Chain A
């Protein structure tokens, strides 16, 4: 009974229509690709902006400092980790080989010790070539007076490169937002599913619990917790997750409540299919429409939460590259507008792109949507 001719297509007709609808929203479609490009690019931040060379050839040996921490002993020094920006180390390497630097020779936490002005120093394009390299020993002719060593968008008040911080900040914002959105969706879907499927007392008790839980003021809790333990990435994720999982419970619960008495669910019960299988196979696909429609907006909300917490100083600890922290520096250093403008632009572009994608996703899942 092999009938390979009638194989099912990899996208069901419903999903093919959704894909078409998604593409038909041109703004969302382009936003999607642009966002994907930015996300992939920032995932590679380590090879775009770093204070270590990408490849080093030293005494005939190929080294990859971005991937491997080489102790300075290797180059005749004594520190545990090599500082490749140190002139002594650079001389040592370049006299015994060569090295290739990333386009930006600063990582998010590298202070520019030779900044042209006291920190925060303005973007390179606001300075004359002579001003840019004024602090180098040989001025414009110094071997360090290269494009990659310029602070294209200036430095912050600790002399760190703004472009590098924006790149790494974008990455950590999206990663944090994605993790939070996905994990809280998983929890929310599971709990909403249980509530909607079983209904009755289970539903009643959990709904009341959620109402009480939602009444807990998250911000105060964060302030209290951050005074007890240092809020690392994971701690912050966990605290925010504890309160953000309730977002999706309502929609998923409603979908399950609606669909649990559908005849095909009843038919599955008559077949003897187990509760978990019914929830996963028959009910969850119905709830996925609502869930996926909400997901970009939840992602947006997660990013905004992180950024505002960072801005207030209750977010990621000092040292993390965060957009909220960049914005706060912009506020405290009003005479250095490049800080605020950069922070604002990055956040605005990121959130706008996500909203546009969210609109396209919403269109894609709208069964009544017709085009032309």
Chain B
């Protein structure tokens, strides 16, 4: 670590540019990127989506879609050798041996048709380990090292038989297989639940300490950077705007963009709870059980209890936060309240029972209960203009409206969510993620609903955009007295919006109460684990 930065660095990226060829010219995804990474250190590259951070990381191992991508300038010196000038054969001996990668999505990075022994073994064989016995021994050793319990029995498991965290551990085992000098981790924890995220980060840290490898860590999450990385590079729009040691950068960010990123966490207070406000949505002992069928006659042998006995009451102008990990049944609960999936147990909207209504009888009530979904890319039909998307509900619920009147309502709704109404004849792909989420909100708001189910509306968005959407939602709630059911796994966002919180685990409510109480003194160990994961990443002893 005492060597000078340029001479002794393990990886040294100098003035790197990446251009993508497209219809009608080239776009520069990264330009003039320079940084150094020394042996045994962790360098985090931080930026929002489209900042060029992944492209930079992928150029190190030349995994970009060449020849559509090219490097107009720059050099990538790994152990003094320029990787951009290396031949394809040379780069192949480096990839997977000296430089390895861990990707974001462990489900798609593993081949679903191969057992984990075969997948890890393949890497070993490609880079020189020979002999079935030797390979087998090394695979078991690696799985032990990454903390897979009882590795001998898991060897023949297929990816779908492992949990998300275990899959990511297998990915790390594959990356470690040939004792690399550099591990590139491209958002390795983004697809994982918060509690599992912390475990994976600890594992990486331990492995780094043991093997002395350098880690190039790509992430959008400043919380992770702060406690995980030694040095940090902040990127935006393909350029590095700030670089330095993590402590320095976090203590005194110099560039405006870095300050903007750090200030971007959702802030603000939910409106005060009002016990006299009219009840908008009520559910009692709600159950959604999916039957498990087995045997020749497909008899029901049991149930998967996606939601099991949940009761809730939501008042006008209030927000109920539903918190839990993936698979805890929170989205299923939200869909059931909207009668988008079948459920047992009474549901009442504005005092009227809606369970048992058929789809025809349900239709006039739908204008009062609206939804905003998680993925702003998936929830807008790509073949309809924004005006058509927002106006669709009006056509159903106010069929008497003239074309002009409908257009006026669409314009009004778009203006209300902070979009330029002039853009309403464009298609969704011309909008950014945050703008699309605003379109989705406008689609719900144009019907003037009483209740909106918000299913992770911010989790697909960049941090700074999240804060804006949260502000917009709070503003709309205050103006129209809306009742929100806010589903999220991100406790920071929930704290900014919710009056009341229920915490779900395996379909059951494990904790419920006002947000202040729950956040101040979480009773359940599970809630504490979630809190620790969200607000204090360093304390990560999770009761699992």
- Taking Cβ atoms with an 8 Å cutoff, the residues of A that contact B are 1-3, 5-8, 12-14, 17, 20, 262-264, 266-275, 281-282, 285-286, 370
Contacts and interface: CB of A to CB of B under 8 A. Distances in A.
Interface string B397-419: 10000001001100100000000
Contact of A270 (B370, B381, B411): B370
Contact of A263 (B369, B373, B384): B373
A271 B68 contact: no
Interface stretch (B134-142, B261-269, B422-430): B422-430
Contacts of B422: 3, 5-6
Contacts of B396: 271-274
Interface of B: 21, 23, 68, 335, 338, 340, 359, 362-364, 366-367, 369-371, 373-375, 378-385, 392-393, 396-397, 404, 407-408, 411, 421-425, 427, 429-430, 440, 443, 447, 453
B388 to A, nearest CB: 9
Contacts of B359: 275
A96 B174 CA distance: 97
Nearest to B405: A1
Given A3-B422, A272-B393, A12 B443 contact: no
B373 A272 contact: no
B381 A271 contact: no
A13 B378 contact: no
Given A1-B407, A8-B425, A370-B68, A272 B366 contact: yes
Nearest to A15: B383
Centre residue among B370, B392, B424, B425 by max chain A CB count within 10 A: B392
Given A267-B371, A267-B443, A270-B338, A285 B425 contact: no
Given A6-B424, A12-B427, 4 more contacts: A13-B427, A264-B380, A285-B381, A285-B383
B381 A264 contact: yes
What 7 pairs between A and B have smallest CB-CB spacing? A272-B366, A263-B379, A271-B393, A263-B378, A8-B425, A270-B371, A272-B363
A269 B407 CA distance: 22
A266 B373 contact: yes
B362 A281 contact: no
Nearest to A262: B378
A165 to B, nearest CB: 45
A285 B381 CA distance: 10
Contacts of A268: 381, 392
18 contacts: A1-B404, A6-B423, A8-B385, A12-B427, A13-B429, A263-B378, A263-B379, A266-B335, A267-B371, A268-B381, A270-B453, A271-B366, A271-B443, A271-B447, A272-B362, A272-B366, A281-B384, A281-B392
A7 B378 CA distance: 25
B459 to A, nearest CB: 13
Contacts of B427: 12-14
Centre residue among B370, B374, B378, B430 by max chain A CB count within 10 A: B378
Nearest to A21: B23
B392 A271 contact: yes
Centre residue among B373, B381, B382, B427 by max chain A CB count within 10 A: B381
B340 A266 contact: yes
Nearest to B364: A272
A354 to B, nearest CB: 27
A281 to B, nearest CB: 7
Nearest to A269: B340
